[in-house]
Amino acid sequence: MSWLSMVWAQTRLNQTVLLRMRGMAFSVLLLPLFLAFSFTSGPQAEIAIDGVPGSVFAAVGAIAVVFPFSYMTIATSIVVRREERIYKRLRGTALPTSAIFAGDVLHATLIGAAQALVILAYTMVAADVPLPANIPLLLVAFVLGAAVFAALAIGTAGFIPNYEVAQIVALPVLLLSMFGSGMVIPLHVLPEELQRPAELLPLTPIVSMLRTAFLGRDFSQDAAPQVGLFEAFQVSAASLGIALVWIGLSMWSTRKYFRWDPRRA
Amino acid sequence: MNETAIEVRNLHQSYGDFEAVRGIGFEVARGELYALLGTNGAGKTTTLDVLEGYHPPTKGEVRILGHDPVAERDAVRHRMGIVLQEAGFYKDLTVGETVAAWRRWTRDALETREALGKVGLEHREKVRVGQLSGGERRRLDLALAVLGRPEVLFLDEPTTGLDPEARRNVWELIRGMLADGVTVLLTTHYLDEAEQLAQRLAIMHQGRIVTEGVLADVLASRGTRITFRLPGFAGSDLPYAPGLARRSVVVNGDAFTVETDEPQEDLRLLLDWAHGRRLELGGLEVRRPTLEEVFLDVAQTEGVAA
Ligand SMILES: Nc1ncnc2c1ncn2[C@@H]1O[C@H](COP(=O)(O)OP(=O)(O)O)[C@@H](O)[C@H]1O
Ligand SMILES: [Mg+2]
């Protein structure tokens, strides 16, 4: 029984369980798509925002919105299984804990990837979004985004006492991600003192990498010059750095605060 | 081959400042059923958690089939089966789906139908777990625990909350496992369960083992009881010289209990005395103590000492 096959077994189990819980399945599977379609069907398609064509701006935002949703999927499922002592049962089997984590993360990431593909195809057909200029960078940005938000979910689960609180916590994560990452509104529209912190939020670097990947241009410079395939990775180094710091912080918090068992009264 | 399946040496386990297990030790041979008895909070589940490899011991040492269950998890994990005192299921899956999912990460697993058959749940295969009764859920716990053909089975209060018939079914299953050579460590607060199943047992109280051994020895550590009713008399009226270590007399209203290591002699004295005074000893009985009485004694003496 290889580690990979155990991870895959966990992933499949998570998927079956999700599909059985209709309310949860609705918000996890369809809500991000609704949000994405509402972004991309606005009238702004013609005008450029910060030098990014409106349609691409919207498409990137629509893809990026899947990450806070996968935060919600992972964080709630961890909390529910911990409190219901399903984790205790799983850990009593031959499954290594790493396979439990990996199965949870892979489950949420596959859902996010399927949603991103649907959104990408839709925007290309319906909103004239061009084929992304730098597909490798697009993939890196996606995987990084998935990793950051999975890590955040695991790293914060230790502070979340139950399902209800998990749902409440997911909301500010979603709102901060939407309005603080430059995904829906450009960062320079924010008040001066909020711009710098907004640049450091976990989704901001992912959004800017996705934009560079779509258009092949470096938006950190005023003229947004064209960059080549490899250059695009170089100009994304700062974003990569910020994302890795979030992963690092989450791993530290996981070590310190993650728990497999409900807290006793 | 190592003949000892479970070894526990000077085990201590703390939660923060609170020491839930305070230095216990025992061994269970292969193929034996060992019962840990004790009231709620005695430390049984905490002990099992350590043996099952959920945490390393705060102090002391445990070995399962010769291995450290935490450090050498991979060597033993698939050889043990666990029924936790309390653990959740995915309520929206059916019974069959649950077993099928567990089979995917269980080496050399039983067929789904075979596992369900062992616990008498075949007819519930298509039912959602959330709709099972408490007893059926307990049987599903057992089905998952035996799925990987374990060599060592940990059962934490496997029959608590079951009706008498379901309990007997679980006992049958356990006897079947023993017949196959499986080692079983069972916790319970039902004394008849331990009497039915256990070769050896320990009584735990406040984190310590207070009595340990084969059932007969545990019972023999306490005297035989002579009980009767006799209105209008006090303990000191009986024909027994006071201050004898081998004998104690407890009077509760008109109910007398004489606990003694020499029942024949003490009974003769009592009968002669009653005969001479033409007294009628109501409901006269002579018997060995039950496990329940031993248990209550332990809880009481320890409670007074604590
Ligand atoms: N996770 C925990 N944190 C703090 N105290 C605990 C924890 N688990 C058990 N305890 C305490 O440890 C003692 C032993 O508990 P437990 O092992 O569950 O006993 P039993 O299984 O014999 O009923 C109890 O006083 C209980 O309250
Ligand atoms: Mg217990």
Residue percentage of chain B with pLDDT more than 70: 95
Which of B15, B39, B205, B209 for a ligand 1 pocket mutation test, highest count of atoms within 8 Å of Cβ? B15
| Residue B236 confidence (pLDDT) | 84
- Cβ distance of A86 and B78 shorter than 8 Å: no
Q: Which two tokens stand for residue B299?
A: 């809880």
pLDDT tens per residue, range B157-194: 999 888 888 889 899 999 999 999 999 999 998 888 88
Tell whether A265 is covered by a domain. Answer: no
- Please tell me the distance from the alpha carbon of residue B62 to that of residue B69, in angstroms, as a whole number: 8
Of B178 and A28, which is predicted with more confidence? B178
**Which residues in chain A are contacts of B106 at CB distance < 8 A?**
1, 93-94
**DSSP secondary structure letter of residue B54:** S
Ligand 1 and B84: CB distance under 6 A: no
- Does ipTM surpass 0.90 in this model? no
Interface check A25 vs B, CB under 8 A: no
**Atom of ligand 1 at shortest range from CA of B156:** 21
- Could you give the residue range(s) of every CATH 3.30.70 domain in chain B? 223-288
Is A23 a residue whose pLDDT tops 90? no
User: Of all protein residues, whose CA lies closest to atom 18 belonging to ligand 1?
Assistant: B45
- Top mutation candidate among B37, B45, B204 for ligand 1, by most atoms within 8 Å of CB: B45
B18 touches chain A (CB under 8 A): no
Average pLDDT over chain B reads 90
Question: pTM, whole model, 2 decimals?
Answer: 0.85
CATH of domain B223-288: 3.30.70
Residue B42 CA: which ligand is closest? 1
Does a structural domain hold residue A127?
A: yes
B21 CB within 6 A, ligand 1: no
Is residue B256 pLDDT above 60, yes or no? yes
pLDDT, residue A264, reads: 64
Residues A172-182, mean pLDDT to the nearest whole number? 90
- CB atoms near residue A24 (< 10 Å): 20
Place B245 in a pLDDT band, splitting at 50, 70 and 90. Answer: low
pLDDT digits (tens, 9 = 90+) for B125-157: 999 999 999 889 999 999 999 999 999 999 999
Q: Which ligand is nearest to the CA of B47?
A: 1
- Span B67-78, mean pLDDT? 94
When divided into structural domains, chain A yields a total of 1
pLDDT at B306 over 50: no
Q: Are A9 and B104 inside 8 Å of each other by CB?
A: yes
Give A193: exposed, middle or buried? Use CB within 10 Å, 0-12, 13-18, 19+.
Answer: exposed
Q: A250, A152 in Cβ contact below 8 A?
A: yes
User: How many A from CA of B196 to the centre of ligand 1?
Assistant: 27
Would you say how long chain A is, in residues?
A: 265
Residue A50 to residue B57: CA distance in whole angstroms: 59
C-alpha B189 – ligand 2 centre gap (Å): 9
Residue A262 lies in a domain: no
Q: Is the CB of B17 under 6 A from ligand 1?
A: no
Tell me if A57 is assigned to some domain: yes
Angle subtended at Cα A106 by Cα A105 and Cα A111, rounded to the nearest 5 degrees: 105
pLDDT higher for B305 or A60? Answer: A60
For B4-218, CATH number? Answer: 3.40.50.300
Question: Is A243 inside any structural domain?
Answer: yes
Residue type, B177: M
Token pair of B162, please? 């079951």
Cβ-defined contact of B82 to A13 (cutoff 8 Å):
no
Is residue A25, in this structure, part of any structural domain at all?
yes
Instruction: Give Rg (Cα) of chain B.
Output: 24
Strands B59-64 and B208-214: unpaired
Tell me the mean pLDDT in the region A49-65.
82
> Where do you find CATH 3.40.50.300 in chain B?
4-218
Domain that holds residue A197: 3-257
